[in-house]
Amino acid sequence: MIHFERSFDYSLIRDIITHPKLWPHLSDDLTPPASQFRPVESPLIWYVLPYYHRSSEEAPDLLGMWMFVPQTSICWEVHTALLPVAWGPLGQMAARLLPGWMWANSQCRRIVTNVPSPNRLALRFAIKAGMKIYGCNRQSYLKNGVLCDQLCLGLSKPDEWPSVGAETGLESIEEPICQ
């Protein structure tokens, strides 16, 4: 079973974001070194921690975190930082369940994200989680001295939230948005 909770434990949040296997993928050329990084402490930002319960006897596994930053009162930008324990089907399941939790526990009605165009793994992950590509933010991300585009993806709260196995729109990953 997976459950979510909002966290204000900024030390834990920092530890997740700066994890050695995550930091290289979460930082860009102008991000400070991991040793100097501090997460933004604001009641407006929602840091959501997913936990996986293997059994009632064992302590749950922390899978990582999602950071939600409101762009408007109902449109929130999400950033993903899943720990290695959540790489694969477990993390994908958590990502598919997360929007339903957000719809029920916040004012959020639309979730958006930006994925650097070279990061095909993150793009595939977002699409499998139910997000749809809606645009391209050209030359908006600098990594290793290369200026690249970011794909814009979003997911709106439907009248009825689909089941975990619902269609994800994965076919849209083959369409080149940024050319």
Element (H, E) at 133: strand 132-143
Alpha-carbon span 40 to 104, nearest angstrom: 24
Q: pLDDT tens-digit profile of 93-151?
A: 999 999 999 999 999 999 999 999 999 999 999 999 999 999 999 999 999 999 999 99
Q: Which CATH class is domain 2-174?
A: alpha beta
Beta bridge partners of 61: 52
Domain boundaries, the chain: 2-174
Q: pLDDT tens-digit profile of 15-44?
A: 999 999 999 999 999 999 999 999 999 999
Entry field: residues in the chain: 179
If 0-12 CB within 10 Å is exposed, 13-18 middle and 19+ buried, where does residue 75 land? middle
Phi-psi region for residue 39, left (φ > 0), alpha (ψ -120 to 50) or beta? Answer: beta
